[in-house]
Amino acid sequence: MQVIILAAGKGIRMGDLTADIPKPMLPLLGKPLLEWRLAMLPEAVREVIFVVGYLGDQIEKYFGSEWQGRSIRYVRHEKLDGTGGAIRQVYESGLFLGPALVTNGDDIYCQEDLERLLTYDMAVLACGLEDSSRFGILDTDAEGRLRGIIERPHAPGYGLVNTGAYMLDQAYFSYAPVPISETEYGLPQTLVLVGDERPVSVVQTRAWQPVGQPEDIALGEDFLRQYWLARQ
């Protein structure tokens, strides 16, 4: 099983913290975020593909071609045309085998949630939040399958939000990537298009922590203590 970790962006909301370091390499509890991410992957994942762009050389130098028994490969994504563009570049490089786990590089997940996600061919990992205002909300049908995405801004309150973790198989790439701006394409928006013709499961997490802005770093460290270090 392979995982594709999207780690090409600059992380503008981090301000000066990412002036000379890519956001997924920011330290949490003394280690780069990506190092924690690799440690917390399910055992079934044996190959890691990093999609790198902004200061990507730092990621390549740190992890090399192998990390604690897992092979590491890299895809350069300098165009930065969104998650939809990034995953398509992996596919066009010939490295995508599928079904594959695909995740954002700046989010932290519980290992057991990712393990459940691996049991699907096409799925998205979701988290129920009382305050969903920072994120897009997943719209599901009566059977809990993906039907649409309610983009920001939306009504405040509880929502089932997209955590940026997916299972994709080869069929995903038979659909044209969906544009979300003049320059970007969206992976989850394209997955909605897939869901019009075949089931896309929505798998709910027990916990999840995005690290997208400076105040999230302390929250990420608390997450690691509670959901990883306390169990080691």
pLDDT for res 231: 85
Q: Does 170 map to a domain?
A: yes
Radius of gyration of the chain (CA): 17
Total of domains in the chain? 1
Q: Is the pLDDT of residue 11 over 90?
A: no
Rounded to whole angstroms, the Cα distance separating 56 from 7 reads: 8
What percent of the chain lies above the pLDDT cut of 90? Answer: 89
Q: Does 140 map to a domain?
A: no
Q: Is the pLDDT of residue 44 over 90?
A: yes
Q: Does 109 map to a domain?
A: yes
Q: What is the DSSP letter of 177?
A: P
Residue 45: give the domain boundaries: 2-125+163-231
Task: Count Cα atoms within 13 angstroms, Cβ side, for 204.
Answer: 10
CATH of the domain at 24: 3.90.550.10
pLDDT, one tens digit per residue, over 48-69 is: 999 999 999 999 999 999 999 9
Q: Does 152 map to a domain?
A: no
Rounded to whole angstroms, the Cα distance separating 165 from 104 reads: 7
pLDDT for res 37: 98
> What Å distances lie between residue 133 and 90, 126, 163, CA to CA?
31, 15, 13
Q: 81 near 8, Cβ under 8 Å? A: no
Rounded to whole angstroms, the Cα distance separating 78 from 38 reads: 23
Task: Count Cα atoms within 13 angstroms, Cβ side, for 223.
Answer: 21
Q: Does 6 map to a domain?
A: yes
Q: Does 147 map to a domain?
A: no
pLDDT, one tens digit per residue, over 103-129 is: 999 999 999 999 999 999 999 999 999
Q: Does 221 map to a domain?
A: yes
pLDDT for res 27: 97
Q: What is the mean pLDDT of the chain?
A: 95
pLDDT for res 232: 80
Residue 93 CB partners (closer than 8 Å, separation 6+): 75
Q: Does 201 map to a domain?
A: yes
Q: Can you list the pairs that 173-178 forms with residues at least 24 positions away whose Cβ atoms lie under 8 Å?
A: 173/88, 173/91, 173/96, 177/84, 177/85, 177/88, 178/84
pLDDT, one tens digit per residue, over 149-189 is: 998 888 889 999 999 999 999 999 999 999 999 999 999 99
pLDDT for res 129: 94
